[in-house]
Amino acid sequence: MSATLPQPIRTVATFAQLLSSVRRGARLTLTLDTATGHLRIAVTDAQGGQLPVVPTDSATYSETGRGLLTVDALADRWGTKPHPPAGKTVWATVPTSSTTATGDAPPCG
């Protein structure tokens, strides 16, 4: 799901939300796909634990997880994957211009 905000704001807000949960030693990767016109933002953290998920209604009063609600609203696609031995990667794709069709972002794995 993507919000109806100007594209530069969507991109910066998605980037900021992913960076807000970065721990020391995390790796940030930005990949521009000129064929599809999407920017992929990925943050890899060696301190794994559980893969993050968007909070459910039952987690309304939880103290964490709000950033993924923002990423879910702004990014065309996002997801997580384990990063062995004990880490994780959280990624999101956003179009590079407002003329790029939403939903055309390639899956990131």
pLDDT tens-digit readout, 37-71: 899 999 888 776 677 777 666 556 666 667 788 88
Q: Could you tell me where the DSSP H helices lie in 21-109?
A: 66-74
What residues have CB less than 8 Å from 87, skipping those under 6 apart?
44, 45, 46, 47, 48
pLDDT > 70: percent of the chain:
68
Q: Which domains are delineated in the chain? A: 7-95 (3.30.565.10)
Q: What is this structure's pTM?
A: 0.71
Under the banding of pLDDT at 50, 70 and 90, the label for residue 77 is very high
> Over 80: is that where the pLDDT of 107 sits?
no
Residue 61: DSSP 8-state: T
pLDDT of amino acid 59:
57
Per the model's pLDDT, the better-predicted residue between 52 and 98 turns out to be 52
